[in-house]
Structure 1
């Protein structure tokens, strides 16, 4: 059978370590062992609760199923790669089945369509979906609680570290520490502001002196202002 592979990771970073490479290996291993051919692969980096319309990769996979013999079904590593929110999972399954396609997972084989004479089939699948959703929410809560505890302790909790700092330490002890190459620019900004220079003039001066912003090729007045305001607030 011709199958299209669908891989998904969270846009916020894969929480369970089941990334693209692992999913791909599982799918290819299962397809080879069961005599199926992977004819295409599509990926999305979105949360498991995103609707179909927000998943360009999934939409492309569905388009292939609509054009047999391009593909006769879709395969995922695990069912929660379709979705970790039960209602989204069920909606995607119904959509694939309505298009005449079949759904497989490298973990459990074919996800059989609902059968009114076998309600237990649907119930078991939906219970598995409930626990997948619970697992995701539990992990998210644990991370959120950890960030909150870290913030309460006065340490940098989450997100990108401000210009002039970077992450130091490991695990729960990780916090913002000075980044020396950027600290030179922070000090120069403070000096020039104290001398009454405008943000635009400071930007030009920093570029001329080879003091680089973190991501852009050159400084802008706004980026200088952001660093200056943050430094003044921390002083």
Structure 2
């Protein structure tokens, strides 16, 4: 569904990645890029980007500072609506998703996603509108569940054959020939981080030093 051309709106962008990492590899940077492209195409202005990193889509909005901030901006009247890549980025659980939309519409604001356009507020004279949205949400939830199940089954099969099958090794370790072993380069970085911490350097300060030395994260 495409969004009808309207007057320029002030939109707060919301993007999220989960605790376990996205199955589709759709990270924060890619989500923000898609949202900005959509906003520019439709003549809208992004006034704020709210982010929740490493937060489960099942978590309620009260436990997600980024979403709470976005809804607060809408409630204060500092934005005309919210923009997200997809509805399941706002929330994976259908009940949480519906609750967030209800808040947005209660303040007379609007909800947009890149893949759909505007999600128009429910109308008692058009009950199919709500039905279709919820069915699509349930179908997406089912698809994610099936993918997760296949991944779990794959890990179980790998573990049964004697291999390491518990996700990416922790920083400082690596899997070699299906066994966990020390990653000497990462272990050296960890030792350096512990030294900085002992000196009283903050977490942000440690991160700044790692960036300055161009030391990559586990995934580069």
TM-score of the aligned structures, taking structure 2 as reference length: 0.76
> 4+ residue stretches of structure 1 with deviation over 6 A?
none
1:179 pairs with 2:182: yes
1:53 pairs with 2:62: yes
Cα drift, residue 92 of structure 1 = 1.1
**Maintained 8 Å contact 1:7/1:81:** yes
Cα drift, residue 213 of structure 1 = 5.7
Any idea what the Cα deviations from partners look like across 1:26-45, whole Å, max 9, x if unmatched?
Answer: 11111111111000001112
Equivalences, count: 185
Gaps of 5+ in 1: 170-174, 186-209, 219-235
1:19 pairs with 2:27: yes
Q: Matched residue of 1:5: which SS?
A: strand
Distance 1:148 1:135 in 2: 20
TM-score of the aligned structures, taking structure 1 as reference length: 0.71
1:29-68 to 2 correspondences below 5 Å: 29-45=37-53, 46-68=55-77
Q: 2:166 maps to which residue?
A: 158
Cα drift, residue 82 of structure 1 = 1.0
Choose the corresponding residue for 2:104, options 74, 96, 101.
96
Q: Matched residue of 2:130: which SS?
A: helix
Cα drift, residue 176 of structure 1 = 2.0
**Maintained 8 Å contact 2:93/2:141:** yes
Q: Give the structure with higher Rg (CA).
A: 1
Distance 1:161 1:107 in 2: 34
**Maintained 8 Å contact 1:96/1:103:** yes
Distance 1:164 1:72 in 2: 46
